[in-house]
Amino acid sequence: MQYREVMIVFLRGAIRIDPGKFANAATKWAAPNWATANRGMESIMRATLIFWIIIFAFGVLVGERYGLPGWTTSLTNRGFEAAEGLLGRAGEPIPAAEDNGAEPEAAEASPAPQTLPPASSSQGGADANADLRINDAGLQIIKDSEGLRLEAYNLGGQWLIGYGHSRTARSGMKITEAQAEALLREDVKDAEDGVRRKVTVPVNRNQFSAMVSLAYNLGVGGFGRSTVLSALNEGDYNGAADAFLNHNKAGGKVNEHLTHRREKERDLFLAPA
């Protein structure tokens, strides 16, 4: 044990330990105000330290830990603990003394936490929009624009059915109006997810639904490049509304049908929710 080695060196005269220094260190540790420490405590600490040094030396030299009965071993162990505590604390900084018994200054209050802006979700987009879904007004714009076809038809080499549904459409396929409604609500989920992901400012249900109609028409990628989205994410809601009218071209030319659809979407975007 390290204290045994230290004590053997001590007893051989290789080092000299001044009990007064140990007592002073112990007193400094015990008294927070060194300038007004009780002198009687210093004497008690000095005597206590000398006592434990004697027990310490006795245990090292002849102990049955070192060879002594149990009660002596117990005293020796306590001596080790006392010496370790005093030596360890002697190197700790001494608390600053208080001047003339004055009350210590109160700790400076921590600044109040700052209010942070609403966080965005880990998948992108504003958290305030997480529960939004397209409303009936938005769905009606899509229905009016796409038109209802209960039998599959080919447009530009692609089979479509219902309100422009393509994923499961095939030649000769027929559906009911209720099935067309269900397919539309299923198809529109991709557009809803895309709008929620890309819009980084809070919007109301009408604004959301107008943008879902636009994304359903342009595709989520096209919506991501739209002037509607860029203006909105900069906080320019009126500019975003007017930007719907920019997306009314087909083949580089203004399309009357698209112009009419964009006007409906803009009106819904501006309608109070």
Domain range summary for the chain, segments of one domain joined by +:
2-93, 127-144+177-270
Per-residue HEC secondary structure of 63-77 comes to CCCCCCCHHHHHHHH
| Residues of the chain above pLDDT 70, percent | 59
What pLDDT is attached to residue 67? Answer: 44
What pLDDT is attached to residue 33? Answer: 53
Tell me the one-letter amino acid at 7: M
What pLDDT is attached to residue 53? Answer: 72
Q: State the average pLDDT over residues 53-72.
A: 51
Query: What confidence tier does 124 reach under pLDDT thresholds 50, 70, 90?
Result: low
User: How far, in Å, CA of 19 to CA of 86, rounded?
Assistant: 12
CATH code that applies to domain 127-144+177-270:
1.10.530.40
At 183-202, the pLDDT tens digits run 999 999 999 999 999 999 99
Flag whether pLDDT at 166 surpasses 70.
yes
Taking the alpha carbons at both ends of the chain, their separation in whole angstroms is 79
Note the pTM of the prediction, 2 decimals. Answer: 0.55
Active-site annotation, residues = 146
Counting Cα atoms < 13 Å in the Cβ hemisphere of 176 gives 3
What pLDDT is attached to residue 68? Answer: 45
User: How far, in Å, CA of 36 to CA of 27, rounded?
Assistant: 11
What pLDDT is attached to residue 72? Answer: 45
The gap from C-alpha 44 to its chain's centroid, in whole angstroms, comes to: 54
Residue-averaged pLDDT of the chain? 75
Closest CA to 77 of 88, 65, 89: 65
Q: What is the DSSP letter of 98?
A: P
What pLDDT is attached to residue 110? Answer: 40
Q: Work out the angle at residue 251's Cα, subtended by the Cα atoms of residues 230 and 188, and round it to the nearest 5 degrees.
A: 55
**pLDDT greater at residue 48 or residue 21:** 48
Query: What confidence tier does 82 reach under pLDDT thresholds 50, 70, 90?
Result: low
Q: State the average pLDDT over residues 50-56.
A: 69
At 235-267, the pLDDT tens digits run 999 999 999 999 999 999 999 999 999 999 999
What pLDDT is attached to residue 100? Answer: 43
What pLDDT is attached to residue 58? Answer: 58
Can you state the angle between helices 39-62 and 19-30, rounded to 10 degrees? 120
**pLDDT greater at residue 184 or residue 3:** 184
What pLDDT is attached to residue 56? Answer: 57
Query: What confidence tier does 14 reach under pLDDT thresholds 50, 70, 90?
Result: very low
Flag whether pLDDT at 109 surpasses 50.
no
What pLDDT is attached to residue 51? Answer: 76
Flag whether pLDDT at 127 surpasses 70.
yes
